[in-house]
Amino acid sequence: MKTIEIEARGLTFTALADGPEEGPLLILLHGLPRNSWEWHHQIPPMAAMGFRVVAPDLRGFCPGARPEGVEAYHVQEYAQDIREIADALGGEGTPFHLMGTSIGATMAWRLAANTPERVLTLACLNIPHQGAFFEAAQKSEKNSEEQREKFSYFKDSSKDGNERAMFHRMLDKQGMPPEETDPYRKALDSDEALEAVYNYYRAIPLWQRDRLAPVPMPTLFIWPPGSGNISRAAAEANANQVTGPYRFEVLENVHQPILQAAPEKLTGMLLGHLAEHALMPD
């Protein structure tokens, strides 16, 4: 596993990468307040399967990709970054396998829904397709109120000047050992980085009512109820947002970041998904 730089959209993205350069491209999207290190347990075994695995630091999370202004952190900007990162890695229009967790899952759903020809297989952790929230809310006001309460942290996360407090609060709440969180504190613990990273929350009102089409590719969705930010109604409604082969896994007694909190279990699930849907038979 090594660190690389990728030029895309006039920005320079850092990324963790492993695996043969001629292998099928697999892109991994991290969450917040984390970065590509979130995938460090999964990258080597995925590379060992023959994939060219690339986990980029998203815009705001790396010094070479911190544009100014809240509008620059609309979820569609992140999605376009990933498409052009794939172009830079494999050539224009290169299709790729895609996985995302937390806010990275939100971006992954959008990529898969809007440009399905680019995404070969999909795995999303914790956050369901945007349509699942609409469906759950339409079924009952109770569902809608429950999800609003679970997303109440958005308000504190979007306040100017509150970034450092939220950053450390989120990391401390996750209860991970120092060796798992120190890379985040080192990479992101500056005023410039934190302001850019938390622009994600400030930009949510720009896109939260967007409607996305269901996704057609083989899809795995993993939901940890212990993370506490997604209602069961929304998680279960996600099945109606996938028209292709779909698998729904519930991880009881596991909190975010699940890639680090339960790495062996998560890695096994993700490798199984790739083995079933991404590897061509001999």
Digit-coded pLDDT (tens) for 197-217: 999 999 999 998 899 999 999
Q: Which pTM value belongs to this model?
A: 0.96
pLDDT of residue 282: 43
pLDDT at 250 over 90: yes
**Residue 270: which of 16, 115, 58, 97 has the closest Cα?**
97
* Domain encompassing residue 143: 2-277
pLDDT at 281 over 80: no
268 vs 118: CA distance, rounded Å: 25
135 vs 61: CA distance, rounded Å: 32
Is the CB of residue 65 less than 8 Å from the CB of residue 93? no
Query: Total structural domains in the chain?
Result: 1
pLDDT of residue 208: 87
* C-alpha torsion sign, points 19, 21, 27, 28: positive
Residue 136 sits in a domain of what CATH number?
Answer: 3.40.50.1820
In a domain, 159, yes or no: yes
Q: How many CB atoms lie within 10 A of CB 35?
A: 25
Please report how the helices 141-150 and 130-139 are oriented relative to each other, as an axis angle in degrees rounded to 10.
Answer: 130
Q: Any idea which residue has 């980029």 for tokens?
A: 56
274 vs 45: CA distance, rounded Å: 11
In a domain, 187, yes or no: yes
In a domain, 161, yes or no: yes
* C-alpha torsion sign, points 166, 167, 170, 175: negative
pLDDT at 252 over 80: yes
In a domain, 282, yes or no: no
Q: What percentage of the chain exceeds 90 in pLDDT?
A: 91
Is the CB of residue 9 less than 8 Å from the CB of residue 46? no
Q: Which pLDDT tens digit goes with each residue over 23-64?
A: 999 999 999 999 999 999 999 999 999 999 999 999 999 999
pLDDT at 222 over 50: yes
Q: Which pLDDT tens digit goes with each residue over 101-160?
A: 999 999 999 999 999 999 999 999 999 999 999 999 998 888 989 999 999 999 999 999
